[in-house]
Amino acid sequence: MGPLLRIAAAAAAVLLAAGAAEARTILFLGNSFTFGELSAAKHYQTDTVTDLNGPDKSGRTLGGMPAIFKQFTVEAGLDYKVSLETEPGMGLDFHYTRRLPLLDKAWDDVVLQSFSTLDAAHPGDPALLTKYASLFVDALTARNPQAKIWLDATWSRADLTYPAGKPWSGKPIQQMGKDVEAGYEAALKAAPKAAGLIQTGLAWNRAIDTGFADPNPYDGIGKDQIDLWAYEGYHASTFGYYLEALMVFGKVTGKDPLSLGDREEVAGDFGFSPAQTHTLQQIAHDQLAAYALK
């Protein structure tokens, strides 16, 4: 190789290294609501993200909502290195007490998601979430003072609303989402270094309020409506996880979900129609805009 070719090759290597160094790191920390249990999202594009827990007994890793987010960033021309650390049925307290050494890195962005009822033993009580969200924010910003830590407030559970004897029985389906939102708002106030709140649950409420999503999966799904839940009324369907990923994408990157377009690739992979895709993006857009005006 001649001197000029060696110089050109060295310059190209420097540019490639610089490009790789510019990738923004993001950690998704949560549970089955993060990794997309009971949906096609669970093992979606697992090769594009890093599952910090490694493969399961069958040799598979998880993609979930973080992999959907990753694909959105690719389509938007953004460079994110995406990792996830999850444990089914657990809140932030579990991750802080059992997994903190695994997470002890200088992340650029972190999305924190706790247990669906805020506290498994005391549904609706934000005390546990508030305590451990603050501890995580302090620990993560100690490693990187510029880190942006986001709290992802999740959705109403049909299985805790429509059957009798449940924590939200007899209340409107939107109420649990509002209560979870309020709990995350309390946690955000207690952690002033946090970057902000992702209103996934209120986006679900908006999808129901506009008539796009059916409010009650127990009595069948209305014509031209979608079901946000998986078959057990607890986890999300692919529609629900897609909407969650749109909310995270909009909040974390600052990009308008509508910019992804009606022919967005993940929606195509999941079999959504262009009209369904547009409506989900519009709902995310509207919810993000409503929060910005608060």
Mean per-residue pLDDT, 38-57: 97
14 within domain boundaries: no
Provide the domain limits for residue 229.
22-292
Mean per-residue pLDDT, 42-60: 97
237 within domain boundaries: yes
Within 13 Å of residue 202, how many CA atoms lie on the same side as its CB?
A: 22
Measure the CA–CA gap between 152 and 166, rounded to whole angstroms. Answer: 23
Is the pLDDT at 13 greater than 80? The verdict is: no
* DSSP H helices in the chain: 3-21, 32-35, 64-75, 92-103, 127-143, 173-189, 200-209, 238-253, 265-270, 274-292
69 within domain boundaries: yes
pLDDT (tens digit per residue) in 237-270: 999 999 999 999 999 999 999 999 999 999 999 9
Q: Indicate the number of domains in the chain.
A: 1
As a 3-state breakdown, the chain gives helix, strand, coil percent values, each rounded to 5, of 50, 10, 40
Measure the CA–CA gap between 286 and 256, rounded to whole angstroms. Answer: 10
Does the pTM of the predicted model rise above 0.85?
A: yes
Pull the structure tokens for residue 153.
């407030």
pLDDT (tens digit per residue) in 212-227: 999 999 999 999 999 9
53 within domain boundaries: yes
DSSP annotation of 163 reads S
72 within domain boundaries: yes
178 within domain boundaries: yes
- Which CATH number characterizes residue 173's domain? 3.40.50.1110
9 within domain boundaries: no
pLDDT (tens digit per residue) in 89-141: 999 999 999 999 999 999 999 999 999 999 999 999 999 999 999 999 999 99
15 within domain boundaries: no
